[in-house]
Structure 1
Amino acid sequence: MELSLKIGERTQTVEVPDASLLGVLEPNDVPVGLTGQAEVRRALAEPIGTPRLRQIVQPGEKVAIVTSDITRPMPTWVVLPPVLEELYDAGVRPEDITLVFALGSHRTHTPEEQRHLAGERAWREIRCVDLDISDCVHVGTTSRGTPVDIDRRVAQADRRICLGNIEYHYFAGYSGGAKAIMPGVSTRDAIQANHCRMVEPTACAGKLTGNPVREDIEEAAAMVGVDFIVNVVLDAHKEIIRAVAGDVTKAHRAGCAFLDTLYRKELPQRADIVLVSQGGAPKDLNLYQTQKALDNAKHAVKPGGVVVLIGSCREGLGEKVFEEWLTQAPTPRSLIDRIQKEFRLGGHKAAAIALVLEQADIYLVSDLNDDLVRSLFMTPFHTVQEAYDAAAKRCGSGATVLVMPYGGSTLPWTGDLET
C-alpha cells in the first residue's frame, strides 16, 4: 500500500506491504453540536458538579480568573466574555475581577500579547496580569513534598475560576483542570518538585488515576481551592467543539472523556515499526515541536522496535535549553538522571526523547544535518521510504507497521494502562 505523509510543506510517500500494515491512525469522526462561544454558553448553563457560576459568586467578592499563556492554543478571548457575563449577572464588579495568565515556567507577555489573549472586552473592563513568581503565598505542601506556593492575587482571592483547553499531556495525562493552578500560577521550585516525576512509568499521556504528576497537581489545587472551571476541547482547526464547566475534577474528567472519543485510537497490539508524522508545517518547524508526535508514538511501538519520526525541523532544534541538554549529553540515560535532579523547561523534552530511546530506536526523517541527528542518539534519513526500508531490515521479515499521519493529535491505546 502506498501511504502519504506530510513533512514541512511537502508530502512524501512510502510503500508498506499490505500484510505488514496493522492500521493508519487518524482522528475519529465524532458528532459535533454547538461550537465556539455558543458551546461555552451551553456549558455555563449546564455545569457539572456545581451550581451555575452566577449562583456561586457574591457581590463584593474578589475573583481571580486563571487562564493559559500564549504558548497554549486556549482561545481565552472566546471563552471569557460569557464568563464575565455570569459574574456581572451575580453582581460582581469589573474592578473586583483579575485575569491572571498562567505562565508556569514560561516567559512573561508583552502588553500586546496580553491584550490579544484576553480579548478587547476583557482588556477594557478588568485587570489583566501575568503570574508574578516574586509575590507568592505558601499554602502548604502536598503529600509528595511539592511546595504549594501560589501567586498572591490568586491565593488570596475570594473565588478562583480556571480556564483552559484539554488535550493530551505527555506526563500529566491531560492538560486543563487543576493544571491552571499547578504549575500555572506556581513557583519554579514547585514546578521542579512536581515535574521531576515525569520519569515515572505511570506519568504518561491519557492516564489520570495513578499518575503521580496529575495526582500531585490536583492535591495542590485542592489545597488552594478552585470554585469553578471552564475547559474546552479544540478540533484540528483550533475551533471549540466541546466545552465543560463546573467542578475542577468532575468537569475536567467529562472533557477528557470527550477528548478520548476524538483522538484516542484503540489498538489490539503494538507494532514493530511506527511511522509517525507531526502533520507537516507549521507543527514540525523544529524538533522541540516534533517531539510531541514522538511521545504519542511510543505507545504504539513494541519494546525493541523502531519509531520513524517524520518532521522537517527546518528551523533546527527549536529551544536553547533543549538543544544544550541533547547535544551535551553523553548518553540518553544521563538525560533521565539529570531531569530527576534538575527540572528545566526544555530539558524536560530532551529527557522525554531519552525515555523513548530506552524503549525503541528512533529513525529521524528531517532536514537536519546527519551528524547533528546522530549526536542526538537518532539515525538520520531524508526520505520516509529509506527509513522504512532500514527499519524493516532491522526488525526482520514479518515486521508489523502502524502509521500515524497526525501523531501530535492521536494517542494510541492498547489498554495496558487504565485511566
Structure 2
Amino acid sequence: MRISLPMGSSTITGDVSDDAQIILPKKNNKKTIDSDILLKNALSSPIASRPLGEIIGSDESVAILVSDITRPVPTKKLLPHLFTELEHAGVKSRTRIIFGLGLHRLMSESEKKHILADYYYQASHLEHELDHCTYLKDTKQGTPVEIFSKVAECDRIICTGNIEFHYYAGYTGGAKALLPGVSSERSIITNHSLMLDETSYTGNIDGALRRDIDEAGRIAGIDFIYDVVLDSNKNVIHAVAGDAIKAHRNGTQIVDELYKIPVEPADIVIVSAGGMPKDINLFQAHKALENVKNAVKDGGAIILAATCGEGYGNSVFETWINECRTPQDAITRLQKGFVMGGHKAALIGKLALEKELYLISNNGSAFAERAYFKHASTLQKAINAAMKNRTKPRILVVPYGNITLLTKNSI
C-alpha cells in the first residue's frame, strides 16, 4: 500500500503492508460552513462574555496578541472581523497588534506580511520583546507574571490563536497567547518548569502548567479571546470567542471529539509533523512524537517525517544535543535542574531509550544522530529499516501528528 505524508510544503511517499492502519482525524459531521461565517458568528455570539463592542470603551487602547510564523493560525482571516468590531467601538486607531514570540526568533518582514496581509500596512504592529516587560504579580505556583510593556499599558487585551493538543500545556490557545506569547524569559522558564509535574501532559486541560497559564491570564486581565480549530488542511472548522476560560474549553471539546483517537498499540508508528509550519525545525516537530508515543509498544519504532529546514530551532536545545552524547546524559542533566530548551533534548532522549527513533529530514545523518535518531534519507528506507527483524509488525500511519492524539484503546 502506498502512503503519502505531508513534509514541508510538499509530500513524501512510501510503501507499507496492506494491513497497515492509516489514522486520520475523525470526520466533522457538522454541515460545512464558510470560515468567514464561522468567524463572524463566533464574534456575534461570544461565550460567557458581552460582545466585544460592548466591552471596549471608545477612549480605550487595545492590544491584539497574534501568533508567529511557527503557528498555523489564520490570523489574516481573523483580523478583518476583529477590526470591524473595533471600528464600531471607535478604537481602531488605538489598537496595536503584538506578535507573541515567546522564546522564538524574530521574524522577517516578509513573514510578518504573510501573517497580517493588508493589516501589515493598515495597522500598528510590533514584536514582543523579552527584555521590556512589566511585572504584575506572582501566580499561586510562583510564576512571576511579567508581560510585554506595550501590552501591559493597554486598557484591553484580546488573545487570538488556534486550539490543538500541546504536549505539556494540554492544549494550545486561550491564555497561552499571553504566557508564553508575550511574557518575559523569567516568566516563561518558571512556567515551563511545571512541565515536569506529572499532570502536565497532552490532552489534559487541568494540568499544573495549564492552570498556571490560565491564572496568569486572569492576573494580566485578558478581556477576550478569539480562537479557531483547524482541520488537517488548515481550514477553519470551528471558532470560539469570549471568556478566556469558557470559550477556550468549548474549543478543546471539539478538538477532543475530532482528534483524540484510541488505538491498539503498534510495533511501528509512521508520523508526519503535518508539514509547514509545524516541521520548520526539530524543536517544533518533536511535538508530533509526543502525540503518538503512547500508541507504540515498548521497544517499537517511531518514524518522524519533518523537513527541519531551520535545523534544531533553539540554541539551548542545540547546545545540549551537541554536549550530551547519549540520551541518558541529557536526562541526567535535566534532573539536576530544569533548563528551557534543554528539556527538549531530555524528552527526545527518554523516547530514544524506550523506542527506535527514525528521522527523515532535509538534513544529513549527523543532524539526526546528534538528536538520538537514526537517519533515513527517504521514507521507504526508514520503513525498511524499522521492518528489519520484526515479523509481521502492526503499523500505524499518522499523516497529521501535529493535531492527532493517539491514546491506548481501553477495550
| TM-score (norm. length: structure 1) | 0.85
Is the 1:114–1:128 contact (alpha carbons within 8 Å) kept by the matching residues of 2?
A: no
Q: Distance in 1 between matches of 2:205 and 2:318?
A: 30
Aligned-pair identity in percent equals 39
Residues 361 and 156 from structure 1, CA distance in 2 versus in 1: closer, same or farther, beyond 3 angstroms? same
Partner of 2:404: 410
- Residue of structure 2 aligned with 1:277, choices 272, 294, 300: 272
Q: Distance in 2 between matches of 1:285 and 1:221?
A: 28
Partner of 1:215: 211
Partner of 2:148: 151
The amino acid across from 1:15 in the alignment is V
Q: Distance in 2 between matches of 1:344 and 1:127?
A: 31
2:47 aligned counterpart, secondary structure? coil
Partner of 2:101: 103
Q: How far is the alpha carbon of 1:140 from its aligned partner?
A: 1.0
Q: Distance in 2 between matches of 1:27 and 1:57?
A: 38
Q: How far is the alpha carbon of 1:348 from its aligned partner?
A: 4.2
Q: How far is the alpha carbon of 1:223 from its aligned partner?
A: 1.2
Aligned 1:72-221 pairs, distance under 5 A:
72-90=71-89, 92-110=90-108, 113-121=111-119, 123-124=121-122, 126-209=123-206, 211-221=207-217
Is the 1:35–1:242 contact (alpha carbons within 8 Å) kept by the matching residues of 2?
A: no
The amino acid across from 2:164 in the alignment is E
Q: How far is the alpha carbon of 1:186 from its aligned partner?
A: 0.7
Q: Distance in 2 between matches of 1:71 and 1:283?
A: 6
Q: Distance in 2 between matches of 1:249 and 1:114?
A: 28
1:362 aligned counterpart, secondary structure? strand
Is the 1:118–1:128 contact (alpha carbons within 8 Å) kept by the matching residues of 2?
A: no
Residues 290 and 95 from structure 1, CA distance in 2 versus in 1: closer, same or farther, beyond 3 angstroms? closer
May I ask how many residue pairs the two structures share in their alignment?
Answer: 406
Residue range with higher mean Cα deviation, 97-106 or 138-147: 97-106
Partner of 1:353: 348
Aligned 1:222-261 pairs, distance under 5 A:
222-261=218-257
Residues 367 and 264 from structure 1, CA distance in 2 versus in 1: closer, same or farther, beyond 3 angstroms? same
The amino acid across from 1:192 in the alignment is I
Residues 78 and 328 from structure 1, CA distance in 2 versus in 1: closer, same or farther, beyond 3 angstroms? same
Q: Distance in 1 between matches of 2:253 and 2:127?
A: 31
2:126 aligned counterpart, secondary structure? strand
> Per-residue CA shift, 1:161-211, capped at 9, x if unaligned?
1111112222211111010111111100111111123244432222212x2
Structure 1: stretches of 5+ with no match in the other structure: none
| TM-score (norm. length: structure 2) | 0.86
1:299 aligned counterpart, secondary structure? helix
> Per-residue CA shift, 1:239-262, capped at 9, x if unaligned?
322210011011111111222233
Residue range with higher mean Cα deviation, 364-373 or 43-52: 364-373
Residue range with higher mean Cα deviation, 336-345 or 196-205: 336-345
Q: Distance in 2 between matches of 1:17 and 1:314?
A: 32
Q: Distance in 2 between matches of 1:5 and 1:385?
A: 11
1:139 aligned counterpart, secondary structure? strand
Residues 177 and 149 from structure 1, CA distance in 2 versus in 1: closer, same or farther, beyond 3 angstroms? same
Matched, 1:306 2:301: yes
Is the 2:61–2:155 contact (alpha carbons within 8 Å) kept by the matching residues of 1?
A: yes
Q: How far is the alpha carbon of 1:133 from its aligned partner?
A: 2.9
Residues 336 and 35 from structure 1, CA distance in 2 versus in 1: closer, same or farther, beyond 3 angstroms? farther
Residues 401 and 196 from structure 1, CA distance in 2 versus in 1: closer, same or farther, beyond 3 angstroms? same
The amino acid across from 2:83 in the alignment is L
Partner of 1:16: 17
Q: How far is the alpha carbon of 1:310 from its aligned partner?
A: 3.7
Partner of 2:328: 333
2:287 aligned counterpart, secondary structure? helix
Q: Distance in 2 between matches of 1:336 and 1:159?
A: 42
The amino acid across from 1:175 in the alignment is T
Residues 280 and 86 from structure 1, CA distance in 2 versus in 1: closer, same or farther, beyond 3 angstroms? closer
Q: How far is the alpha carbon of 1:277 from its aligned partner?
A: 3.1
1:343 aligned counterpart, secondary structure? coil
Q: How far is the alpha carbon of 1:350 from its aligned partner?
A: 2.7
Is the 2:62–2:91 contact (alpha carbons within 8 Å) kept by the matching residues of 1?
A: no
Is the 2:193–2:340 contact (alpha carbons within 8 Å) kept by the matching residues of 1?
A: no
Structure 2: stretches of 5+ with no match in the other structure: none
